[in-house]
Amino acid sequence: MTTRIVSANIALTLDGRYSGPGGPADAGAIVRYATTETARNHLTRIHENATTAVLGRRNAEGFLGFWPTVAADENADPRDRSYAKWLVDTEKVVLSSTLTEAPWERTRLANAPTADVITELKATGAGEILVNSSASVIQALLAADLLDRLYLLICPEIAGGGARLFEDGLPGTAWALTRQETGELGEIATVYDRVR
C-alpha cells in the first residue's frame, strides 16, 4: 500500500476567516497579501511535490476562470505561472454532488464523502495530494484527521465576519511548525505538519 502525504493550503485572516462578511467571494482581507514575495514563494512550496490537486466545486469553477489565463501569460510572475501550469497539467479531483461534467481537462468528478475519496487517493499513485484552498474539503479532512500538512498564509487583518476554517467540534490534534516566513506587509507563510 502506498502512503501519500495529504496537504492543504488556504489563506486566513487573524480571526481565522477565509472569506469576509460579504460571503464566499469576499476576499478583501486576503487579496492584497496573495501577491507578495512571501506569498508567491509559499505558492511555489505548496505545489512542488504535489501530483494530485483536490478541489471543491466552487474553487474548481473559480480557478478555471483564472489560472489557465495565468499559465498562458508570458508576462505573469514566473511563480504564479509555474503554479498555474502545474494546476492545469496535473491530475485533478473535484468533489461535487451537482456537477455532471468535469470542468477541466485531466479532471475526474467524485460524488462521495471526502474522507472516502482521500483514503482511496492515498492508497494509489505517488506524490503529495494537495487540497487547494477548498475550505469545505479541508474541514472534512480535519474532522476525519486525514490531513498531514497545512500550508497557511496568515493575513494581518481581522475580517470581523465571514466563514471560519476552524469551527468548534473538530477533533483535538497536534501540529509541528516546520517552516515560517514573514513578509513585508506582515503576512506569515507557515507550514505545519501533523504530529501523530
**What CATH topology corresponds to 6-195?**
Dihydrofolate Reductase, subunit A (3.40.430)
User: Which pLDDT belongs to residue 62?
Assistant: 84
Q: Which residues, listed in sequence order, are joined to residue 107 by a DSSP beta bridge?
A: 92
Residue-level pLDDT at 139: 96
Extents of the domains making up the chain: 6-195
Written as one string, the DSSP assignment of 30-44 is TGGGTTSHHHHHHHH
pLDDT confidence of residue 105: 86
Mean pLDDT score across all residues of the chain: 93
Q: Decide if pLDDT at 93 tops 60.
A: yes
The tens digit of pLDDT for each residue in 54-79 reads 999 888 888 888 888 899 999 999 99
User: Helices then strands (H, E): number in the chain?
Assistant: 6, 8
Mean pLDDT of 111-125: 93
Q: Give pLDDT, residue 81.
A: 93
Alpha helices in 27-177 (DSSP H): 37-47, 57-64, 67-72, 78-89, 114-122, 135-143
Residue 142 reports pLDDT greater than 70: yes
- Judge whether residue 3 has pLDDT over 80: no
pTM of the model: 0.93
Q: Determine the pLDDT at residue 25.
A: 84
Quick one: pLDDT at residue 32?
93
| Contact in structure between 192 and 149 (CB atoms under 8 Å) | yes
Whether the predicted pLDDT of 101 surpasses 70: yes
Q: Are strands 188-195 and 149-155 parallel, antiparallel or unpaired?
A: antiparallel
